[in-house]
Amino acid sequence: MLSIKAHKSAFIDIINSMCGIFGFVSKNNIKAVPIILDGLKRLEYRGYDSAGIAATTVRGVFSRKKSGRILELEKILNKNVESSSAIGHTRWATHGAPTDKNSHPHSSCDKKIYLAHNGIIENFRDLKDKLIRNNHKFSSDTDTEVVAHLVEDFMNDKATSFEEAVRLSLKSIVGTYAFTIIYADHPGKIIVARNSSPLLIGLGDEIKFVASDASAILPHTRNVVYLEDGEFAILTKNDFRIANLDRKAIERSHEKIEWSPDAVKKNNFPHFMLKEIYEEPEAVENAIRGRLVIRDGLAKLGGLETVEKDLRNINRLIITACGTAYLAGQIGEYMIEESGGISAEIEYASELRYKKNSLNAKTALLAISQSGETADTLGALKEIKRKGILTLGVVNVIGSSIARETQAGVYNHAGPEIGVASTKAFVSQLTVMALITLFLGRQRGMSLIAGRKIAEELQALPEKMKKVLTRAGDIKKIAKRYHKFNNFLFLGRKYNYPVALEGALKLKEISYIHAEGYGAGEMKHGPIAMISKDFPSIFIAPSDSMYEKTVNNIQEIKARNGPVIAVATEGNKEISKLVDDVIYIPKTIEMLTPILSVMPLHLFAYYVGVFRGHDVDKPRNLAKSVTVE
Ligand code: F6R
């Protein structure tokens, strides 16, 4: 999509794992530990089961690894280690428990080759058996370790260089990977390789970096080179060379990342999650910037221009995504069905592939993903694309796999999202869905007046969102009163039904409280049985076409002594007489209400998580980019 070149990789119907990889090559020996730790901390949101480091030094390779957070690793590190090539890894465990021995980097028997890996080596058992027969001794339960021994095995044939041994090893592997590899006898050199796991090279003046994503590189440089699938690169003190696995040299110029280095800092916020909630108005501003022609009631989406004609011909849009992005897609489904003039349906990416969809030339697929790396979404996208269907993307991370795989799309421009629970990306996704609705609608029957109204209301949103943020103090007080409850029900209708699901998802993730989201109308068909004075409900009840019916549902809960918090439209005094607590949001048109109504729910989840003493930026068992299926 957009300026990113078509992605050439073959369809790989397998999984890769999350984890964060970071490394550097420097012209001179420098203190490696602080640089690697800083890079790893910026990638920690990708996984935080264990971490490790390896650095070439004058006395061979220095390596330490530790289960637990990066802070645990930091405690056992000598900060004065000098090196000209070092790698680090933060792990989200797949093969092998999150123990010290299973942490990366892994090494060869002679402790000369060290590598960190993101991905899964599918044929590792076969390789391991062969290597054991060749007397290799393994010290972990991971799939990754086989590759360190494999490189060593090839190098045992003295005629094979380090580079060639890595290339031959990569050719022997079936699976997905991003690798960083160092060799004790070649200080000042890193070999990196990519297949279905993201990896980019950052070009500084004195130092070159490698990382799983740009957030770790941004403090050092904004000039990056993306590695493509099936490529490896050799980084030395003086240059870098990219080649494919058949040794064909590849020329690639660098791209400039537009994200500012400040975007990956907490600034004065205690957590990234809170910072990112406060960035929600800006995320909407960035999503609409230059994309609204108010006078003509149009959305100008450069990324869709190349397929504008194809879009005129479609009459059905399948939207697919996971988690919070799925919920944005669900609201998008309501928007497009109601105002976009075509039929829309949402499908979990993790299910879409297994359905027999009757697709035809008038169908298009839209994948939504903040990270652009979610394996389920990528897998669904590749499967549908293989059937010849037009594929579109709504993606935040530029150059990510989903951005490359889709034929056209719209970038969110929400900036990096570091908090594991998605917040600002969600409102940005909703904004882009509204823009796409306007774009499609105006290609079809939507009137100029209706188009203008949507455009004007979109333009007015950021100021209204800032107003919601001024109520954070009140929301914090409400969260304090309710944070000890162990169950919550979130209820809403139509556009605010997926908002209820998002409120429940966020509370579950951050506070580990059991929370369920339901369509308010469905509540009486079962969940109402749970209601008691110990089971609060949060109603999203703006003054829209669903209001009267929602109020009936509130009455039903109150009649059973259930505590109720309502998110309601400013000026609605009546509701405060009905419920225990109200959080007011400004008025907007119905289809844009979720962008305002979700903000109190994000803040509520955040404060409840904080009051319960959790690490809200890194909730247990979760990782930011879910690149396993
Ligand atoms: C929830 C959350 C996840 C993601 C989901 C999809 O707070 O963050 O549910 O929304 O894993 O991720 P992306 O958007 O990167 O594809």
Looking at every residue in the chain, the average pLDDT score rounds to: 92
Co-location of 481 and 570 in the same domain: yes
| Tokens describing residue 91 | 């792990």
pTM of the model: 0.80
Structural Rg of the chain based on CA atoms: 25
Cα torsion at 289, 292, 294, 298 (round to 10°)?
180
What pLDDT, on the 0 to 100 scale, is given for residue 601?
98
Same domain membership, residue 479 and residue 571: yes
322 Cα: distance to centroid of ligand 1 (angstroms): 6
- Is residue 12 assigned to a domain? no
Domain end among 234, 264, 294: 264
Structural domain contains residue 380: yes
Domain boundary among 446, 468, 490: 468
Q: Quote the domain boundaries for residue 412.
A: 266-468
Other Cβ atoms closer than 10 A to 305: 11
Same domain, 189 and 321: no
* Catalytically annotated residue among 5, 8, 19, 137: 19
Distance CA 53, CA 64 (A): 6
User: How many Å apart are CA 196 and CA 60, to the nearest integer?
Assistant: 31
Q: Ligand 1: which residue has its CA nearest to atom 3?
A: 323
Candidate from 45, 371, 401 with most ligand 1 atoms within 8 A of CB, to mutate: 371
Instruction: Please write the tens of the pLDDT for every residue from 43-54.
Output: 887 777 889 999
How far is the centre of ligand 1, averaged over its atoms, from the C-alpha of 332 (Å)?
Answer: 16
Cα of 274 from ligand 1 centre, angstroms: 17
Whether residue 432 sits in one domain with residue 475: no
Please name which of 68, 301, 39 lies closest in space to residue 180, comparing C-alpha atoms: 39
Q: In the beta sheet, which residues pair with residue 224?
A: 202, 255
Residue 628: pLDDT band (50, 70, 90) is low
The pLDDT tens digits of the residues spanning 540-582 come to 999 999 999 999 999 999 999 999 999 999 999 999 999 999 9
Give the 3-state DSSP-derived string for 169-219, with helices as H, strands as E and coil as C.
Answer: HHHHCCEEEEEEEEECCCCCEEEEEEEECCCEEEECCCEEEEECCHHHCCC
pLDDT digits (tens, 9 = 90+) for 148-159: 999 999 999 878
Model pLDDT, residue 7: 31
pLDDT in tens, 421-459: 999 999 999 999 999 999 999 999 999 999 999 999 999
The predicted pLDDT at position 14 comes to: 27
Model pLDDT, residue 13? 24
Is 454:339 a contact under the CB 8 Å cutoff?
A: yes
Q: Could you tell me if residue 7 is inside a domain?
A: no
What pLDDT was estimated at residue 128?
97
Say whether both 389 and 319 belong to one domain.
yes
| Boundary-marking domain end, from 264, 293, 308 | 264
Span 271-305, pLDDT tens digits: 999 999 999 999 999 999 999 999 999 999 999 99
- Name the residue of 46, 324, 398, 427 whose CB sits within 8 Å of the most ligand 1 atoms, as the mutation to test its pocket: 324
Residues in contact with ligand 1 by the CB-under-6-Å rule are 322-325, 369-371, 374, 377, 421-422, 505, 509, 625-626
Residue 155 CA to ligand 1 centre (angstroms): 42
Q: Using the predicted structure, report yes or no on whether residue 621 has a pLDDT greater than 80.
A: no
Instruction: Please report the atom of ligand 1 found closest to the CA of residue 509.
Output: 7
Among the residue ranges 2-11, 216-225, 247-256, 378-387, the one predicted with the least confidence is 2-11
Q: Is the pLDDT of residue 95 over 80?
A: no
Query: Which domain CATH number covers 317?
Result: 3.40.50.10490
Q: Give the CATH number of the domain where residue 237 resides.
A: 3.60.20.10
- The verdict on whether 624 is a catalytic residue reads yes
